[in-house]
Structures are given as structure tokens and as C-alpha cells.
Amino acid sequence: MQARTKQVTFFAAKLLLSIGVLLYIARGLDLHELRIHLLAVDPAMFAVALALVLIQTFVLNGRWVLIMRSLGVSIDWMAGWRILMISLWFNQVLPSSAGGDVVRIWLLRRRGVQWPQAVKGVMADRFTALLGLVALMVVGLPFLWSRVDNLSAILAIGGLTAAGVIGTIVLLTLDRWPARVIALRPIASFVQFGTLVRFLLLKFQRREILFGSAIVIHLMTAAASYVLAVGLQAQISILDVFILIPPVILLTAVPISISGWGVREGAMVACLALAGVPSDKALSISLLLGAISVIIGVIGGIIWLASPERGSYATASIGAEEADAAGQSLDYGLQQAEEVSGHP
């Protein structure tokens, strides 16, 4: 009962934040003009952006399949894509930002994958995506400095990038820290993930493909944003988009809102303003990008409806019983899983 109350409280807080940020952004805008922008987007450009995000799921799945193979788990490519798409549907409908990951782990378990491998595979996938994003932000900093005059914005994005670099270094070196430090429960949970990601980064035979795909995925999000900007006749260069969208992606990933809604819009308006994009058009780009995410999620929902696992999975209980069980299993996987055979 206490766990359910905590979940409801967190969900309410995230919902209020999403609504609050959207209202704050919209308060100074002409909503009629915003509606005109949304309806006036070039359908062909919207279709291209949708296709880019859909193709992105194939690249994402390829990365995840590679990570699972590094753990000794062989997943058929199409089966992995089906699991991924279903998880994207649950990302849209569940209050928890980790809901899709919980479902991914649960579906892996249904295929006979052990908890340690399932948890490690999903979390390593997340960390690999973060590494690709941080790499893009580091590369983009010199261009940001040369193209943006707003010192406060440069310092903010630079600080965000520095935090990502420092966090990455800490993660990859956690197992080298003093034993009394890494024995602490919050830190111990990440030691094995750091070791696994370091192995993938330095010793995995297909590491170039793995981390190349992590970068490509974020570039595809930036490309989809640029296509939507073109469809809205927003004046922005593709270089500015590739510099300014990665910080938006990173901020959107922070689990403080419902599926990134509100945070994505606020970050998009603030970042694209640095390139001279009006707030109403920047907000329209973000809302259309969110709509594409919903469409992709609905495709995942259709796949879920046809899924053989659906009969044994009560959607109504995911927020409580299954989520609690999965959360306990996550702790178990983090604390008890043995090192992957052959990994450092």
C-alpha cells in the first residue's frame, strides 16, 4: 500500500511538472498562431521525420542485440525489435519513466533470459546511449562557442556537458575506487554496469559498430527535428540543429516528467532560441516530435495486442505488483549478478 502511494505521488508530481512547464511556455504565446503552425506543417516533411524515428528503432535494436550478445544471450533481431517496440508503448502509457525498461526485462525473462543478464543488458543499453550523447555534446561545444553569443547559455550547456563527461569517467572507473566507497549500496549497484560498459567500449570486438550506432541514433533525432523545422519554415541551419538538439535530448531523459513532456518543450524553446528560432515554432517542433513518439508508441501497442505474452501480463497491475516485483529483481540483478564470463 505504501509503495502504491509513493508511485501515485511521484506520478502526480511528474504530471504537474509536465503541465506546469507547458503552461509556462504557452502563457506568452498566441495559441491560435501555435495551432496554425502545428496544422500547417508540410505533411511530406512530417512523414520524413516519422520515417527517421521509425528507422531509428531498427538502429537502436541492433545496438541492444549486440549488447545482449556480449552477455552471451542470443536474441533474434526481429524478436528484439518486437520487444523494443512494446517497451516504447509502455513508456507512453506507464507513469514510471522506467516502465518500458521493466517491460523489456520482463519480456526477456519470458524468453528464458536470467535476471542478471536481462538487467545488465537493458541498463548497459541505456548507459551506451548516454555515452554517445555526451560524445556529441563534447564535439559540439567548439561550434557552440563560435556560433552563439549568449555566454550564460554557453556556460549552462558547457556545464551540462562537463557533468556528463565527469559522470561517464566516474561510471567507467567505479570498480577502481576504494572498497569502502564502492561497498555503499547506491554506488555498488552501478559498479558492474560500469565494468560492462568499459568492456564494451575498450574490448568488445564490435565496439565501433556499437558506439557508432549510439551516436547515429541521436543524430537521427536531430535530423528529424531539422526536417520538422523545414516543414514549419523555421529558419535554422542543420549545423545549429546538430549542436543544440543533443542538450535537449539529455534534459528530456531526466525522469522528472511524463515521457519527457514539458521538459522537452522547455529545453527545445530555450535551445533553439539561441539560433534565432521563435518560441512558437520551436514549441511546434517539440510538440510534433512528441506526437511522432506517440505514433511510434501506438505501433508498439498494436504489436503488444498481437503479442503471445499479453495473455499472461495484466496491464492494470503493471504499476503495482509487476513493477514492485521487477524493482526487487532489478536490485537483485544489480547486487547479486556475477561478473559476465570472460569480462574484466
Q: How many angstroms separate the Cα of 114 from the Cα of each of 22, 49, 60, 72, 308? A: 41, 37, 22, 11, 20
Question: What is the rounded average pLDDT for all residues in the chain?
Answer: 82
- In this structure, is residue 299 part of a structural domain? yes
- In this structure, is residue 181 part of a structural domain? yes
Which pLDDT score, from 0 to 100, does residue 32 have? Answer: 66
Number of domains in the chain: 1
CA–CA gap between residue 245 and residue 220 (Å, rounded): 10
Handedness of CA 253, 255, 261, 267 (dihedral sign): negative
- In this structure, is residue 325 part of a structural domain? no
| Structure-block grid coordinates of residue 144 | 557552440
Which pLDDT score, from 0 to 100, does residue 341 have? Answer: 32
Write out the DSSP string of 52-86: HHHHHHHHHHHHHHHHHHHTT----HHHHHHHHHH
Which pLDDT score, from 0 to 100, does residue 1 have? Answer: 53
CA–CA gap between residue 110 and residue 15 (Å, rounded): 32
- In this structure, is residue 337 part of a structural domain? no
| Structure-block grid coordinates of residue 170 | 566516474
- In this structure, is residue 126 part of a structural domain? yes
Closest CA to 48 of 203, 288, 227, 290: 227
Residues with pLDDT less than 70, the chain: 1-4, 6-8, 10-11, 15, 28-32, 95-98, 185-186, 189, 311-344
- In this structure, is residue 219 part of a structural domain? yes
Provide the domain limits for residue 296.
Answer: 43-305
Which pLDDT score, from 0 to 100, does residue 316 have? Answer: 40
- In this structure, is residue 66 part of a structural domain? yes
